Amino acid sequence: MDREAVPGAEVDGRRRIGRTDVLLADRRLAEAAGRLGRGVVKAAVVAAQHRARAGEIPPDAVADAAVASLPVTASGLRPVLNATGVLLHTNLGRAPLSDAAREAVAVASGATDVELDLETGRRAGRGRSALAALLERVPQAEAAHVVNNGAAALVLAATVLAPGREIVISRGEMVEIGDGFRIPELLSATGARLREVGTTNRTAPDDYAAAVGEETGFILKVHPSNFRITGFTRGADVGELAGLGVPVVADIGSGLLAPEPLLPDEPDAASMLKAGAHLVTASGDKLLGGPQCGLVLGREDLVRRLARHPLARALRVDKMTLAALEATVRGPRSPTEQALHADAGKLRERAERLAGRLRGDGVDAFAVESEAAVGGGGAPGVVLPSAAVSLPEPYAARLRQGVPAVMGRVEDGRCLLDLRSVPPGQDGDLAGAVRAAAR
Ligand SMILES: *Cc1c(COP(=O)(O)O)cnc(C)c1O
């Protein structure tokens, strides 16, 4: 390491730990301050001085330690290799973006024509090309609108279509999304009243018909995206409710635009609209594999009312989200879609190859069969056959704290790195992270 980079370091007397301002003059740290900001680099220096005072590192290694601990970017968010086998991991930010979407985000992050027609020089509809992309993929929708997330799409629908009025909803569809957020409470917070119909396990079309009246704003169908009710059950299809004289809004959750043969129980926007739903709401960062956003697709007059409501301004998405969404919809298969469709035999080959390489480096690693899941509020109970590299349990914590961080899962006293949620191009990074954790 480059020690002479601290020219004539003045030292903190007895302990010989370099002074902060002197350390910050180190060429590498000065360069990093230009890139990451002085505050970020100073924090790394202070932490390294602390470690030296505690005797964890020699006093003359402070600059090196500070350099080694610098974050990748000026943000506290660190890159993580998702080896949990959960494709949409909520705590890891759900869907990872495709390269196409990342490039679109990078371009849109500067000044961009999000609301400008460069041809005429006049103002133009915000996000028009992203909306056009959605409508091309879902021709059954007359119009589309994009908000902050799936919850925002529901809030907007309730605010606009049922102000002070009733939303008719089945007792079997009163869903808690996660982290204590409940769709019924979200809807009530808008001032709409919930008119519950049916029972937990059975709700028939007649239950809806009996509840619809003067006070009805709309009927809401919520996809039970994170649980299943089986046994003596009965539900009403959108098609059976479309003729009751009030709008039917279908919250499909996952954001599938068209049917996905591998997940036959997951609803999709095109099929719902074809069946008669007047509006569909969904998340962009679940099975669609795009950025966090909420999609509203359906009848033109309804979509326009939502998009023109004052609240729409508070829920609107930024230019980078629009760019990522469009690139996801138009671009190549998203990482989520690729992971979902990954061949189990190929995953096994990757696991064998990776484990073999690691054993060659002296790591106690072997390939095992594994079970992956969609996660993140999609396809509950669906098991995706997968393969993993099995390591001794202590690797789990060490890998989590490495750079890049690797998140595996601990099962039966072993740390499993499930490859279905790791893009094949990152196997080398994964091997490198394990080797670093072995040291
Ligand atoms: C995930 C989900 C939501 C909430 O969407 P967010 O994008 O997380 O706000 C709403 N409804 C259903 C059925 C969901 O699965």
Q: Give residue-wise pLDDT tens across range 348-407.
A: 999 999 999 999 999 999 999 999 999 976 788 899 999 999 999 999 999 999 989 999
Taken in order of first residue, the domains within the chain and their CATH numbers are: 3-69 (no CATH), 80-93+338-438 (3.90.1150.180), 99-332 (3.40.640.10)
Q: Name the residue of 154, 169, 251, 272 to mutate for ligand 1: max ligand atoms within 8 A of Cβ.
A: 251
CA-closest candidate to residue 213, choices 239, 246, 184, 247: 246
Centre of ligand 1 to C-alpha 367, Å, is 35
Residue with tokens 């595996």: 408
**Residue 225 CA: which ligand 1 atom is closest?**
15
Tens of pLDDT along 205-235?
999 999 999 999 999 999 988 888 899 999 9
Centre of ligand 1 to C-alpha 378, Å, is 9
**Residue 292 CA: which ligand 1 atom is closest?**
7
Query: Crossing angle, helix 150-161 and helix 300-308, to 10 degrees?
Result: 100
283 lines ligand 1 (CB under 6 A): yes
306 lines ligand 1 (CB under 6 A): no
Dihedral angle sign, alpha carbons of residues 218, 219, 220, 221: negative
Which pLDDT does position 5 carry in this prediction? 45
149 lines ligand 1 (CB under 6 A): yes
Centre of ligand 1 to C-alpha 281, Å, is 9
Q: Name the residue of 146, 147, 225, 295 to mutate for ligand 1: max ligand atoms within 8 A of Cβ.
A: 225
Binned at pLDDT 50, 70 and 90, residue 63 comes out as very high
Protein residue with its CA nearest to atom 15 in ligand 1: 253
Tens of pLDDT along 132-147?
999 999 999 999 999 9
Structure tokens at 77: 């968010």
Centre of ligand 1 to C-alpha 308, Å, is 23
Tens of pLDDT along 92-124?
999 999 999 999 999 999 999 999 999 999 999
Tens of pLDDT along 390-414?
999 999 999 999 989 999 999 999 9
Which pLDDT does position 307 carry in this prediction? 98
Centre of ligand 1 to C-alpha 380, Å, is 14
94 lines ligand 1 (CB under 6 A): no
What does the pLDDT average to over 19-36?
95
pTM: 0.92
Centre of ligand 1 to C-alpha 352, Å, is 37
Centre of ligand 1 to C-alpha 406, Å, is 27
Protein residue with its CA nearest to atom 12 in ligand 1: 253
Amino acid at 220: L
Q: Name the residue of 170, 177, 285, 287 to mutate for ligand 1: max ligand atoms within 8 A of Cβ.
A: 177
Which pLDDT does position 4 carry in this prediction? 43
223 lines ligand 1 (CB under 6 A): yes
The answer on pLDDT for 344 being more than 50 is yes
177 lines ligand 1 (CB under 6 A): yes
**Residue 153 CA: which ligand 1 atom is closest?**
9
CA dist 172 and 170 (Å) reads: 5
Protein residue with its CA nearest to atom 13 in ligand 1: 253
Centre of ligand 1 to C-alpha 224, Å, is 10
* Percentage of the chain modeled with pLDDT above 90: 90
377 lines ligand 1 (CB under 6 A): yes
281 lines ligand 1 (CB under 6 A): no
Centre of ligand 1 to C-alpha 283, Å, is 6
Q: In whole angstroms, how far apart are CA 124 and each of 94, 119, 298, 322?
A: 31, 10, 22, 14
